[in-house]
Amino acid sequence: MTDFLMTVNGDQVAAATTFGVINPATGEIFSQAPECSREQLDLAMESARRAQPNWAAEPAARRSALVACAAALKEEAPALAVTLSAEQGKPLKAAEYEIVEAARWLQASSELELKTTVVRDDQHSYAEVVHRPLGVVAAITPWNFPVLLVGWKVGPALLAGNTVVLKPSPYTPLTTLLIGSLLAKHLPPGVLNVVSGGDELGSWMTSHPDVAKISFTGSVATGKKVAANAVADLKRFTLELGGNDAAIILDDADPATVAKDMFWGAFINNGQICAGIKRIFVPRPLHDEFVAAFAARAGKVRVGPGDSEGVQVGPVQNKMQFDKVTELVADALANGATAVAGGLPSEGPGYFFPPTVLTGVKEGMRIVDEEQFGPAVPVMPYDDVEEVIDRANATKFGLSGSVWSPNIERAQEVAARLDCGTAFVNDHLALGPDLPFGGIKWSGYGVENGPWGLEEFMNIQVRYTARPKPAKIAAPPEEDK
Ligand code: NAD
């Protein structure tokens, strides 16, 4: 049995079987989540399909429902944060912040404009372009920001007039299940269904005939499978995948200042963030000073269980990711790298790994070429700007990148040459509901957020009306000539 239930057609439902959810700070199962059956998924899809036309018909009701959802989520943030911290590992404060941010995204979605554009209005015709919802959206989220991404996906999907079937990661299903039950109080039955289960459930969703659009955040490998299922039925899809973001420090920057300003761009959420800094490039003459300042900061981070007072960073979220980070760091060390901070996993229990800064690394090492998605960052020297731009772009990924310098114009010029979805100057990870977020190359397909993200949840329809043709001037009668 479990206290956590799915939301299907507005009802709270259990499943015939459950699966264990691990607290990454202990490595032990601390709760159970329902394992959605195929029949239950069909019911969720059917309820979403049935609810959609009425939901689409009432734009004002959609806006006010989203405002109510945002307020409810914000109010419950402190209570929900306890569950989020336990299942995800992040500190309580960070968990609460994530939930409040998700509420902010829901609120921002409620304020987006549903635009109609008049493209022709003359004596021959009137033509306008309107946006229409797609139908049922399958939303699939990962384990790093399980709640924030509910806001990113559910807000615009619902505002556009779609209904949603949402599936959290099996590593972090619990808070999303609670949110399903909370938001059901403010939404008509069927508008938002929340189901939980393993990866197979995701695959059933992406091949389900009732689904018109898939909104997916997760790994590149899974993204490719999602795309294949979507294409087989020509479903619309948006993919937010991984990244290997470069941060480039220019030679006029102050190393200690940049070390301070960019630190959390690399280590927030334990580095488990798609658009975090994953490779740092420093001009050779500034390398040692930067490394010393950056490593000193890493050494001071308070790592521990998310529910302990004063903790800044929790454990890595799951054993698979913990093993990957351990392996990539060990591989770098075996190939000549030096850990100037961290370097070894902490003694158990739990999946703790200290913030790690690696030098003596280069392209060709796994820690540089692959997405580490954890608390270990390689720092590499460079000799000239053309070289570093090439190196920053020499990756299959293209999510974001940043350039750091007091000379803003120069930094902007370099940033503009980065092949990625967002190019920052003197910041990294500055995301907002008004900024479209998405990656190029392997980092994604399509964008989320703002009016650009909203459009991805809609089709356009041209509404064309011919104007009456002017009556022909009759030829004058013969005798008048
Ligand atoms: P994952 O791809 O393993 O899982 C993501 C979700 O997909 C989970 O809910 C999972 O159950 C589901 N899933 C698994 N197999 C599926 C299938 N065949 N069909 C449909 N759904 C399936 O990713 P993860 O390990 O949970 O998340 C980490 C990855 O996500 C990292 O690579 C990270 O970079 C990426 N990420 C990207 C963004 C972004 O916005 N670009 C944000 C967060 C995480």
The answer to whether residue 474 sits within a structural domain is: no
Is the Cα torsion angle 412, 243, 193, 7 positive or negative in sign?
Answer: negative
274 a catalytic residue: yes
- Per the domain annotation, does 316 fall within a domain? yes
Coil/strand/helix, residue 163: strand
Residues 227 and 288 in one domain: no
236-240 and 211-217: which strand pairing? parallel
Residue from 99, 426, 142 nearest 274 by CA: 142
Q: How far is the CA of 32 from the centre of ligand 1 (A)?
A: 21
169 with 220, same domain?
A: yes
Question: Is 1 part of a structural domain of the chain?
Answer: no
Cα separation of 332 and 324, whole Å?
A: 12
Q: What is the DSSP letter of 132?
A: E
pLDDT of residue 1: 52
Indicate the number of domains in the chain: 2
Residue 471: inside a domain, yes or no? Answer: no
251 in any annotated domain: yes
Atom of ligand 1 nearest to the CA of 197: 11
Helix segments in 185-316, DSSP class H: 199-206, 220-232, 255-267, 287-300
pLDDT in tens, 288-304: 999 999 999 999 999 99
Which of 222, 317, 449 to mutate for ligand 1's pocket (most ligand atoms within 8 Å of CB)? 222
CA atoms of 192 and 165, how far apart (whole Å) = 6
Are 252 and 207 in a shared domain? no
Check whether residue 162 and residue 263 sit in a common domain: no
88 lines ligand 1 (CB under 6 A): no
For residues 95 and 425, what is the distance between their CA atoms, to the nearest angstrom? 27
Same domain, residue pair 255 and 195 = no
Query: Do residues 71 and 120 both lie within one domain?
Result: yes
Q: What is the pLDDT along the chain (481 residues), one digit of tens a residue?
A: 568 999 999 999 999 999 999 999 999 999 999 999 999 999 999 999 999 999 999 999 999 999 999 999 999 999 999 999 999 999 999 999 999 999 999 999 999 999 999 999 999 999 999 999 999 999 999 999 999 999 999 999 999 999 999 999 999 999 999 999 999 999 999 999 999 999 999 999 999 999 999 999 999 999 999 999 999 999 999 999 999 999 999 999 999 999 999 999 999 999 999 999 999 999 999 999 999 999 999 999 999 999 999 999 999 999 999 999 999 999 999 999 999 999 999 998 999 999 999 999 999 999 999 999 999 999 999 999 999 999 999 999 999 999 999 999 999 999 999 999 999 999 999 999 999 999 999 999 999 999 999 999 999 999 999 999 877 776 666 655 4
Domain region containing 312: 245-425
Out of 87, 101, 240, 448, pick the active-site residue: 240
Query: At 337, is the secondary structure helix, strand, or coil?
Result: coil
CATH number at residue 338: 3.40.309.10
What is the per-residue pLDDT for 477? 63
Residues 191 and 262 in one domain: no
Distances (CA, A) of 73 to 101, 223, 288, 440: 10, 29, 46, 32
Task: Please indicate, yes or no, if residue 473 is contained in any of the structural domains.
Answer: no
Beta carbon of 170 within 6 Å of any ligand 1 atom: yes
Closest-CA residue, ligand 1 atom 32, reads 219
Q: What is the CATH number of the domain that holds 200?
A: 3.40.605.10
Residue 209 and residue 301 share a domain: no
* 57 and 102 together in one domain: yes
Could you confirm whether 455 is annotated as catalytic? no
- Name the residue type at position 186: H
Q: Whose CA is nearest to atom 20 of ligand 1?
A: 202
Within a domain: 202: yes
* Together in a domain, 219 and 137: yes
My answer on whether 129 and 252 are in the same domain is no
Whether residues 370 and 314 share a domain: the answer is: yes
Count Cβ atoms below 10 Å from residue 366 Cβ, excluding itself: 16
CA Rg value for the chain? 25
Cα dihedral sign, 9-201-216-143 = positive
- Site to substitute for ligand 1 among 140, 149, 206, most atoms within 8 A of C-beta: 140
Flag whether 312 is in a domain: yes
Find how far residue 135's CA is from the centre of its chain. 22
Contact 9, 43 (CB under 8 A): yes
Does the beta carbon of 255 lie inside 6 Å of ligand 1? no
- Choosing from 36, 69, 274, 420, the catalytic residue is 274
